[in-house]
Amino acid sequence: MSDYSQPSQPEDSLAAIAAEVRHCQRCPLAQGRRNAVPGVGPAQSAIMFIGEGPGGMEDQSGLPFVGPAGQYLDELLASIGLIREDVFITNVVKCRPPNNRDPEPDEIDSCKPYLVRQLRLVDPEIIVTLGRFAMERWLPDQRITKVHGQAFRFGRRLIVPMLHPAAALRRAEWRPWMIEDFQKLPHYIDEARRLRAGDDPNAPISAITPPPDAPQQSRLL
């Protein structure tokens, strides 16, 4: 996982990555796309959300999470006092898989260098993985229904796996989990900053303690 935390090359930029993604031909998903969807957000964001891949509306607009799952993501962000402009949002694959099928391992691998570069540049304290495919990068042996909402330390970041908002839209019984998991984020950001301020960046991976139940006002920004 060290390739996610190396410093970026001085000449790299989010704009350069986005330009490359828009012309990318590294995998067959390029054939079927209308627009590639590189990702959006401030160059320095405390939180990066990583979804699975663009759907129909994202393919049409070139922007991530603008369909129903994105509207739900906006609501969840609002529940902790954030708007989407506060966070960086991207996907494991930057082009829409045909008929919204799951991305193939070789498509994910082809797209990985873009995500690695985005992570180095944005350098978020927290990565929230939305759904199984994003989680598998860091926690390949975990089950999302078991570990969602927990925080796992990877070097100088915390990885917080969450269910995919589209899955929670399909399954109403999962929505309370989504809400609870978002309520933990302000606590995790405090933890992540504390770890960064004082700790050994090469310390081993470990799960950190989830916060007590009480909802918290956002102190993220």
Would you tell me which residues interact with ligand URA (CB under 6 A)? 51-55, 58, 64-65, 67, 69-70, 91, 166
Smallest distance, ligand URA to C-beta of residue 67, A: 6
CA 11 to chain centre: 24
Q: How far apart are CA 139 and CA 64, in angstroms?
A: 23
- H/E element holding 126? strand 126-130
Which among 95, 94, 112, 107 has a CA at the least distance from the CA of 32? 95
Which among 168, 36, 163 has a CA at the least distance from the CA of 91? 36
Smallest distance, ligand URA to C-beta of residue 2, A: 26
Amino acid at 16: A
Q: How far apart are CA 19 and CA 29, in angstroms?
A: 17
Residue sitting closest to ligand URA (CB): 51
Smallest distance, ligand URA to C-beta of residue 145, A: 17
Nearer to ligand URA, 178 or 195 (CB): 178
Nearer to ligand URA, 51 or 149 (CB): 51
Nearer to ligand URA, 58 or 125 (CB): 58
Smallest distance, ligand URA to C-beta of residue 7, A: 28
For residue 116, report the phi and psi dihedrals to the nearest 5 degrees. -60, -45
Neighbours of 213 (CB within 10 A): 8
- Distances from the Cα of 178 to the Cα of 121, 166, 172, angstroms: 28, 11, 10
Nearer to ligand URA, 130 or 192 (CB): 130
Smallest distance, ligand URA to C-beta of residue 18, A: 14
Nearer to ligand URA, 163 or 192 (CB): 163
> Looking at residue 174, what DSSP letter applies?
G
Asked if residue 89 lies in contact with residue 37, where contact means CB atoms within 8 angstroms, the answer is: no
Nearer to ligand URA, 53 or 211 (CB): 53
Smallest distance, ligand URA to C-beta of residue 58, A: 4
